[in-house]
A and B are shown apart, each in its own frame.
Chain A
């Protein structure tokens, strides 16, 4: 057994390119998701059409631009220029103040600000609109307070728990951990087993007294360790590069991860039993594991918004439950009492896949 694992490590360490992918990928992925693919919006370029040019409109403009969200790209002179401003491409929002803005406010106690948004990126448009309205509302509230006119309307005050700054990296780290653990574990094992099939060495292993379970354990042990190292690297990056703390128990997080890694490895073996070549194994891992994990686990798209059928499918995605677990531990800092159900689900899937792969792992060639 020891010799088998040693041999497996030789394979891994002598293939420099795969090594690089194995350890480089997590770092690149986390950095990519953390920095590049962020849903926070900073410095959105806007244009302002101020047809009134009075102290109040100037003050509101000032407020908006002094937030970190907006940068003034252009001052428009007339309605006709709005279309052209959007077409030029880099303007995301136009704020329109009507004629006699201050006067109307004085007279009627009510006035409209028009926000026109480029909705070709719906998420961005939604967020910008929310930011702008927020700033304008705050301003009007302050004005009323100053005038001692307590508004009758009830203001909502939101408090963002667990991720007060709404950093998207908090959302991505659990997802990235899940994807990477799954991909590295499942893809690498399935590839390394099919490689032995291609090289013909599997024949020699099969005719030896080794039991299928021994071959499987020998094959997966190195990858348990490697995936574990990957996990630590991602957690360190999250902590020190993005300042994302782990609120809950680190031990619990690691134990849950090991469970998930074992499940992914079992899946990898299952994949290798149905694929004949390394290429097939890789494609299967990519399409059968990676894409559903990204799309259906709630990593990027909220599960609640999916059609009911996809919601059902997402229930059988082990990655969905794992993401819930990590979020609970890392962000909420709660203990096993809050996610023992999810843990049990993963535990059962793991046992199921192990049983399946041991059963399907052939002692013969066909």
Chain B
């Protein structure tokens, strides 16, 4: 594996809250353009790790390089190079689609022309050209999530973190969402995604499974299924987390 192509490198990453170890010596790396599934039970330490990798929280010890920057020393440079989207935090309900694009584009320092062009591009891609002036709260959840993803990659980040992006979304829209993920991965954006849908774990190129603060397994879905001698990722997950 070529070192320079690794966009996330994590070495012995530890995060403690008092006496509680949320992340216990994490070691993994993610390649440029890869779709990396970050799985684990509730409370296994996924959110803590994502916060560290996106520069929101400092590790207690160990090292994490994201998009070429040390998260401890240059959290702001890390933030400029990543996009983030979650089921809870996404777009503003009381603003229109276009206003949301304009706002987030502005935050990441895009100029007006760029924002206008990108907004037009994404709305066309999502087949939502007629809905640009509609308030977000009047738009169904599935469409919202697709819009939120577009906004998260508006500034061409090197990595996009997706925290349960498809929770509660219908099966068809979930598949359309994953087509968007594949597309941006093909254009070189690394996708770091968490999910509770085990079929979505299969869509990832590589996955890691966390349990009680440690990464218990890492590899391609096929490798993991073979290693645990089971047929589905669901069974792999249950074997590890139980």
Report A-B touching, CB under 8 Å: no
Where the two chains meet, the residues of B that have a C-beta atom closer than 8 Å to any C-beta of A are none
Chain A residues within CB distance 8 Å of chain B: none
